[in-house]
Amino acid sequence: AAGSQFIDQVRSQSGWAGVNDLYENRPASTEQLIHMETYPDDRPVNVTVPDRSNDEWTRFDHDPVADTVGEASVYAMLVHNDAVNPEDRYSYQSEPSEGWGGDSVVPYTNGTTGAYVWETVWDTENDAKQFHEAYLDVLDAHDARNPRGNVYVVPEGDDFDDAFRVVRDGKTVRIVNAPTTDQLDAVHSRSG
């Protein structure tokens, strides 16, 4: 719905010529479709994830090495896991996904199983805090236990049975995923 509303707004402001111009100046992110006032000036932050894996884990061999999840997919994840108000379901907007500034997710493999590092950057520290809290709600929805600090484990039998380290630092939230808590540092060491 956000895409059609975006096109309708451009058409009403600039006619079909304005819509045709979008082929040359496409929206840079789903954020620009959801929050039309951000187009074209509020572009996503370029987020890079340093490789802090040990010799057991390697980044998937593809180019580019990372991908962007984007605000729309963050929103969908939160809705699917009941981490946002169901009333927000059809507006594509929620406080925990608004304020998305950019992200990068990098998949890893050890030859037999996968892991990932997902780094998100938010417009403000409060936006990062809201997303961080909502992500912890997502883990809670999967009955994750919290054995220590910022480490969470979703139990076996759940589709997401893995270990997660969720760290908020200022406007950044980093999520490291691995099959077990012992492998979190192997995928992405805490210091670098």
The residue-averaged pLDDT of 126-139 equals 98
- Using a pLDDT cut of 90, give the percent of the chain over it: 82
Helix (H, G, I), strand (E, B) or coil at 149: coil
Give CA–CA dist 79/65, Å, rounded: 28
Output the pTM of the full model. Answer: 0.91
Q: Is 131 exposed, middle or buried (0-12, 13-18, 19+ CB in 10 A)?
A: buried
The domain limits of the chain are 1-43, 44-187
Single-letter amino acid, residue 17:
A
Give CA–CA dist 2/15, Å, rounded: 18
Q: What is the pLDDT of residues 68-112, one digit of tens each?
A: 999 999 998 999 998 887 776 666 668 899 999 999 999 999 999
